[in-house]
Amino acid sequence: MLRAAITIGAVIVGACAPTVGWERETSRVCPEDGPAVVCIQAVPDRGVVLEVGGAELVPGECARAPEGGGALRVTWTDARGGEHDQRIRATRGRRTVIALEADGELRVVARIACDAGMPPFVPIE
């Protein structure tokens, strides 16, 4: 799905990552021409479930898009029951690592180009 907007004569095009169909990814590498991969960590490590494109992940897990990449909605519930959501950019051919920080903010901590020699995802302990 593509969205386009015209602003002062310039065209801005943004792509949206699939909002459903993401699957838990257990492989240690991703192909350079493959769909976006998102990996989750929590700092400090704690029990939390984040929903990424319909896949429910806990810290230390990854999900793969059914195709492509783009803006992706991530949702989670905090310890007090408050619901949160945030959009991140998950790029095709890259592993995007996001961390739920101690202050409750979700941050992108790395975007690593996929290839057969990439380092495996290891969450912060």
Question: How confident is the model over 24-67, as pLDDT tens digits?
Answer: 998 878 889 999 999 999 999 888 999 999 999 999 999 999 99
Tell whether 70 is covered by a domain: yes
pTM of the model: 0.80
Give the residue from 74, 53, 76, 73 showing the smallest Cα distance to 64: 53
Tell whether 3 is covered by a domain: no
Copy the structure tokens of residue 108.
């992108």
Copy the structure tokens of residue 79.
């310890």
pLDDT for 85? 94
CA distance 43 to 50: 14
- Give the CATH number, domain containing residue 103: 2.60.40
Tell whether 1 is covered by a domain: no
Number of domains in the chain: 1
